[in-house]
């Protein structure tokens, strides 16, 4: 009786478990969590004349505030033990699979069945715990982002009104309708700076050379809409 071919599944599972933190780089959770109003509230004292329009990478602004970087880093640290545990489970699973491959010819049917059952049991445990960890992480990320996004939105609205902007467009999403915008209309950094002053949270320590910062992992980088 031969053992099941599970090496490819192990490789896939390894990528899934080790990507517990980095998986949010796609911005999927960030996009789902953004619950801010689509347009600023109209004010009765808006200046007359041509409308001023600005663009902002809102998700990036939230993630790159000092408060956001600190909060996301703290969340990563909180889940590090769970990620280490999942890696340990995966290492055990890989070891069992290697034993089946290297010792297959010398194992009795009973020994092979025992090791195969152990590998399948460990894989089920890994799948279950990895899914639970992902769900828990996503929920806490949603809660963190949503609360911070609401505060950053207030700073963005105040800045836009002070500068006389009548419309602010979000260029965070790939499906943004903005086809072209000059850098002078991009208020992302200005809003980040304004919020940092308001929050009073100091800038985080610079990461070690070559290391990814929390915002690099958790939010897409700002992009300038391509001209057509």
Number of domains in the chain: 1
Is 208 inside any structural domain? no
Between 101 and 198, the higher pLDDT residue = 198
Is 126 inside any structural domain? yes
Return d(Cα 171, Cα 215) in angstroms, integer: 17
Is 61 inside any structural domain? yes
- State phi, psi for 216 to the nearest 5 degrees: -65, -30
Return d(Cα 112, Cα 107) in angstroms, integer: 6
SS3 163: coil
Q: Where does the chain have alpha helices with state H?
A: 7-18, 28-33, 58-64, 66-103, 109-162, 188-199, 214-218
Is 228 inside any structural domain? no
Name the strand (E) or helix (H) holding 169.
strand 167-170
Is 101 inside any structural domain? yes
Is 129 inside any structural domain? yes
Q: At what angle do helices 188-199 and 109-162 cross, to 10 degrees?
A: 90
Is 2 inside any structural domain? no
- 26-81 pLDDT tens trace: 333 334 334 444 444 444 454 455 689 999 999 999 999 999 999 999 999 999 99
pLDDT of residue 206: 75
DSSP state letters, 93-117:
HHHHHHHHHHHTTT--HHHHHHHHH
What domain range includes position 97? 7-203+213-218
Q: What is the mean pLDDT of residues 74-89?
A: 94
* Range of lowest pLDDT (77-86, 101-110, 212-221): 212-221
């Amino acid at each position: 009786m031969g053992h099941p071919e599970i090496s490819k599944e192990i490789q896939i599972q390894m990528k899934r478990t080790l990507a517990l933190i980095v998986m949010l780089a796609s911005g999927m959770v960030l996009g789902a969590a953004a619950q801010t109003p689509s347009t600023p509230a109209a004010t009765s004292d808006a200046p007359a004349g041509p409308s001023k329009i600005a663009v902002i990478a809102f998700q990036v602004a939230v993630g790159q505030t000092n408060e956001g970087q600190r909060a996301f880093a703290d969340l990563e640290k909180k889940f590090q033990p769970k990620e280490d545990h999942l890696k340990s489970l995966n290492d055990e699973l890989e070891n069992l699979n290697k034993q089946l491959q290297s010792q297959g010819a010398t194992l009795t049917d009973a020994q092979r069945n025992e090791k195969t059952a152990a590998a399948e049991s460990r894989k089920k445990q890994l799948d279950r715990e990895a899914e639970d960890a992902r769900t828990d992480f996503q929920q806490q990320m949603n809660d963190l982002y949503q609360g911070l996004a609401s505060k950053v939105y207030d700073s963005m609205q105040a800045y836009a009104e002070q500068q006389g902007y009548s419309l602010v467009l979000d260029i965070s999403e790939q499906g943004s309708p903005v086809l072209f915008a000059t850098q002078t209309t991009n208020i992302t950094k200005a809003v980040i700076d304004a919020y940092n002053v308001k929050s009073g949270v100091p800038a985080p320590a610079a990461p070690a050379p070559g290391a990814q910062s929390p915002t690099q992992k958790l939010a897409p980088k700002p992009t300038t809409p391509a001209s057509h």
